């Protein structure tokens, strides 16, 4: 009995000691936490004091005599641009420009640029714009804007130089892969009105949809195109080549037109509140026709979300070349009525969990750009060359109806001749035809 009491007493003592130690550790933990917070706050105040001191010295002694407002703006520009390639400070002019771009109309060259390996690089020219017509290509490095070198130049500064009054000239010095020396390209500025979506037909039963950028009208315009051609279409080609991206919600809505279930894209950031998952809904799905998506090195951001999601969900075949690799999320946060900051807050993740950032989307079938070279052989003999060949029903008394020639001026049709000038699209059409045949079986 005595031993039993001693055991109980010992057990209670152990519990007491454990409680004392536990309380002591909690108290110590609270003390350490308070100390850490105090240290962090002291470091923060020291850093702010250092910044204020430097700002005061620069204001007093800088040779240009810049005022405090200008110095603060430059400080903000430096702060944001040094975080990553896509964060930046938007003054009134830049903020207005950004808003006009998402509306689908703005002034300039029609070129989207980004930083790659600290070089000002063309993500893509916008189709039909002065930059596109002058021959600017995705992947071109802009070495000079007029006579100003772009080395250490911010994207905002570069865009500011390239924009200007319509009908005024500008010269870009371009470094292009494969070219022996820099190329000087002369461009005339113009008002850029972007037709972000247009539709064509190929062989009557293939619907070709080209999306040049993701402005606020994209999903509705694609929806209208699918509805218009729904009775004849047996397959769809979605062309996202040289599409630099745009609005995330439009990328999600566009994908949802073709996908009836599953995650389209998710974003994860430092704060849990920035973690969002976007999923497909059956209600929004318009078609389950065979699908081919065209991409290249000029396909970025929203284009990579669409193509990557369709690839991961095995909804279609991706054809072309590896995409740009921009998989980060930027939000625009107004700081005044006229100014804002564009800040990278998260990364995009495709349905499989993979990231696009600095990797891009690798097509299922890789096809380099180019055209098919034809070799005419004068020794070929066809049925039509025979003296007493039977006439085709399309022949008339005054000659043969040239269907291809008639279609060449029809902007709603892509002809066989046009396909020979775009080997990527021709391959895409061939793959889609195979998918249509397979589905028919």
Active-site residue set:
301, 312, 326
Q: Are 144 and 172 in contact (CB under 8 A)?
A: yes
Please state, in angstroms and as integers, the Cα–Cα distance from residue 79 to each residue in 82, 92, 99, following that order. Answer: 6, 18, 22
Round to whole Å and give the CA distance between 244 and 324. 9
| Distance spanning both ends of the chain, measured CA to CA | 88
- Give the Cβ contact number of residue 348 at 10 Å: 24
Round to whole Å and give the CA distance between 88 and 84. 9
Round to whole Å and give the CA distance between 427 and 365. 9
Round to whole Å and give the CA distance between 391 and 439. 35
CA angle 176, 178, 179 (to 5 degrees): 60
Q: What single-letter DSSP state applies at residue 358? A: T
Residues in contact with 30: Cβ distance below 8 Å, sequence separation at least 6, in sequence order: none
Q: What single-letter DSSP state applies at residue 118? A: T
Give kind and range of the element (H or E) at residue 72: helix 68-81
Burial letters 229-255, b for 16+ CB under 10 A, else e: beeebbbbbbbbbbbbbbbbebbbbbb
Burial letters 277-313, b for 16+ CB under 10 A, else e: ebebeeebeebebbbbbbbbbbbbbbbbbbbbbbbbb
CA angle 49, 55, 61 (to 5 degrees): 135
Residues in contact with 248: Cβ distance below 8 Å, sequence separation at least 6, in sequence order: 265, 302, 305, 329
Q: Where are the alpha helices (DSSP H) in 288-339?
A: 302-312
């Amino acid at each position: 009995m005595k031993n039993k009491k001693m055991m109980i007493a010992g057990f209670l003592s152990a519990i007491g000691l454990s409680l004392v130690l536990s309380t002591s550790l909690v108290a110590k933990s609270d003390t350490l936490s308070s100390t850490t917070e105090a240290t962090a706050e002291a470091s923060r105040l020291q850093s702010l004091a250092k910044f204020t001191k430097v700002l005061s010295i620069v204001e007093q002694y800088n040779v240009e005599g810049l005022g405090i407002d200008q110095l603060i703006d430059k400080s903000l520009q430096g702060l944001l641009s040094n975080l990553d390639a896509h964060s930046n400070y938007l003054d009134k002019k830049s903020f207005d420009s950004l808003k006009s771009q998402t509306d689908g109309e703005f002034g300039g060259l029609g070129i989207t640029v980004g930083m790659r390996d600290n070089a000002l690089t063309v993500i893509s020219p916008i189709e039909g714009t002065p930059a596109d017509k002058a021959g600017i290509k995705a992947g071109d490095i802009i070495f000079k804007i007029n006579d100003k070198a772009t080395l250490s130049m911010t994207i905002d500064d570069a865009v500011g130089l390239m924009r200007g009054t319509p009908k005024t000239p500008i010269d870009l010095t371009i470094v292009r892969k494969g070219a022996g020396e820099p190329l000087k390209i002369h461009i005339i500025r113009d008002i850029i009105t972007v037709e972000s979506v247009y539709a064509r037909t190929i062989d009557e039963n293939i619907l070709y949809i080209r999306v040049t950028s993701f402005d606020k009208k994209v999903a509705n315009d694609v929806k209208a195109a699918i509805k218009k051609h729904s009775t004849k279409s047996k397959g769809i080609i979605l062309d996202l080549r040289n599409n630099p991206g745009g609005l995330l919600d439009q990328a999600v809505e566009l994908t949802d037109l073709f996908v009836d279930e599953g995650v389209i894209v998710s974003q994860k950031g430092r704060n849990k509140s920035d973690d969002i998952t976007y999923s497909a809904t059956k209600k929004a799905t318009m078609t389950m026709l065979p699908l081919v998506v065209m991409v290249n090195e000029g396909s970025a951001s929203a284009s990579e979300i669409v193509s990557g999601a369709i690839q991961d969900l095995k909804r279609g075949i991706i054809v072309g070349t590896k995409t740009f690799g921009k998989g980060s999320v930027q939000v625009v946060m107004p700081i005044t009525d006229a100014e804002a900051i564009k800040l990278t807050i998260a990364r995009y993740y495709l349905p499989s969990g993979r990231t696009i950032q600095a990797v891009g989307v690798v097509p299922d079938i890789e096809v380099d750009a180019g055209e098919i070279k034809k070799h005419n052989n004068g020794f070929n003999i066809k049925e039509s060359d025979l003296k007493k060949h039977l006439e085709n029903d399309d022949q008339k008394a005054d000659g043969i109806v040239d269907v291809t020639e008639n279609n060449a001026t029809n902007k709603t049709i892509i002809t066989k001749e046009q396909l020979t000038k775009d080997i990527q699209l021709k391959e895409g059409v061939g793959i889609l035809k195979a998918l249509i045949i397979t589905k028919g079986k």
